[in-house]
A = this chain, B = another copy of it.
């Protein structure tokens, strides 16, 4: 019986466990810090009150309940002993014959870690509900505020980073203020709010063709989002931001500009790239350690042109399956296979009815792309129940322009930095 320890229940780890589940000869332990698998591509919908946390997350235990040889543990890995082949969770040690590391990535602030407090990133459910709280609270503060300058500050939303996360956040906030909240307030007019998307490079969504970037920029502008390109952020604090020499007072700043791999990679003593990703062999194993695999956002793996693969859900999912199959090939005495990414295309959505997409050389944008995006995302949502309810929630929101999950839940709704609330 081979003991396989998988660290991380994201797309990579979960799919590795599913392939190994119920196979004879393997005994799987999946360790995660969270009890739920998260459908990260839709996290921005939670942050902007379109969906509830439970719509895009499912308990890992429930997803793997049918695989009797898989054990799920909630815990944080504190040490990896490669020579002794054990993983430590607090005082407990788990011996392994195979180790799969699929610990994902988190936001990086390029040496400005002090910015995180003022500009949270979007990688976890907790961050999503925190962003939701900040965005909704800013409208509430503006409604209470009498000073026009401070009111404008509360109605200014800055999103840093023109990748998919930043574009989707900016589009959703623009849409929310234009449509959902338009009738809710009496003192302020939410449609007067400013949403600014800042990108350091010359265009947004640079992973897509130039024509599609231009389409996405136009869609954002139609929702009232101001797109600032080739603009570097030099300061973020409670007052707002400074970018391209210009100061913008803003109560809400969100970060979608950079990622770095999980710190667990550094425990391996192996070579890392600049983003902290572990450089892996073509079969996804650690150089010199064929029994250790690193996959997903945590791994630096090159495609056939020698380019590192992007940190996308389909890459992690396919890598999870491949490394599990390589473990099974070992058992059967067959040679391992190298990873080859089957690119089914990539997409990004802007607001309630626009998207852009690229499938190999085919490019599409607008409403048709949005429909395609909708179906692809619903199809890949883990667990049939979630898929079913997300369709309904979206159908409802689409027809009514509503956002049902507009909840501010926290002891202190005013506890974000930049608040000038007087109740402190």
Q: A residues bordering B, Cβ < 8 Å? A: 33-36, 52-55, 57-59, 61-62, 65-66, 71-76, 78, 89-92, 125-126, 129, 136-137, 140, 143-144, 181, 183-187, 385-386, 388-389, 392-393, 396, 400, 402, 404-411, 413, 421-423
For the complex, what is the distance from the CA of A136 to the CA of B406, rounded to whole Å? 25
Task: Check if A405 sits within 8 Å of B71, measured CB to CB.
Answer: no
Task: Check if B389 sits within 8 Å of A393, measured CB to CB.
Answer: yes
Q: Which residues of B contact A52 (CB under 8 A)?
A: 52-55, 405
Q: Which residues of B contact A78 (CB under 8 A)?
A: 423
For the complex, what is the distance from the CA of A405 to the CA of B53, rounded to whole Å? 8
Closest to A183 in B: B65
Each complex incorporates copies of this chain amounting to: 2
Task: Check if B57 sits within 8 Å of A125, measured CB to CB.
Answer: no
Q: Which residues of B contact A33 (CB under 8 A)?
A: 413
For the complex, what is the distance from the CA of A388 to the CA of B397, rounded to whole Å? 13
Task: Check if B408 sits within 8 Å of A35, measured CB to CB.
Answer: yes
Task: Check if A407 sits within 8 Å of B36, measured CB to CB.
Answer: yes
Closest to A66 in B: B183
The answer to whether A144 and B73 touch (CB under 8 A), given A53-B52, A389-B393, is yes
The answer to whether A54 and B90 touch (CB under 8 A), given A385-B402, A393-B389, is no
For the complex, what is the distance from the CA of A125 to the CA of B129, rounded to whole Å? 13
Q: Which residues of B contact A34 (CB under 8 A)?
A: 408, 413
CB-based closest 9 A-B pairs: A54-B405, A61-B184, A90-B422, A52-B52, A74-B140, A59-B406, A71-B186, A35-B408, A52-B54
Candidate in A181, A184, A409 with the most chain B CB atoms within 10 angstroms? A409
Task: Check if B423 sits within 8 Å of A404, measured CB to CB.
Answer: no
Q: Which residues of B contact A413 (CB under 8 A)?
A: 33-35, 74
Identify 22 residue pairs between A and B in the complex whose beta-carbon atoms are under 8 Å apart, listed by A's number: A33-B413, A34-B408, A35-B407, A52-B53, A52-B405, A54-B405, A59-B407, A61-B184, A61-B185, A62-B402, A62-B406, A66-B183, A73-B143, A74-B143, A90-B422, A91-B422, A92-B422, A125-B407, A385-B400, A385-B404, A389-B389, A389-B392
Q: Which residues of B contact A62 (CB under 8 A)?
A: 184, 402, 406
A126 interface neighbour in B65, B75, B409, B422, Cβ under 8 Å: B409
Closest to A36 in B: B407
Q: Which residues of B contact A143 (CB under 8 A)?
A: 73-74
- Please give 11 more A-B residue pairs, beta carbons under 8 A apart, in addition to A72-B186, A126-B410: A33-B413, A35-B136, A52-B53, A52-B405, A59-B407, A61-B185, A62-B402, A66-B183, A71-B186, A75-B423, A389-B392
**A350 nearest CB across to chain B (Å):** 24
Closest to A186 in B: B71
The answer to whether A65 and B408 touch (CB under 8 A), given A54-B52, A392-B389, A396-B385, is no
The answer to whether A74 and B406 touch (CB under 8 A), given A35-B413, A396-B385, is no
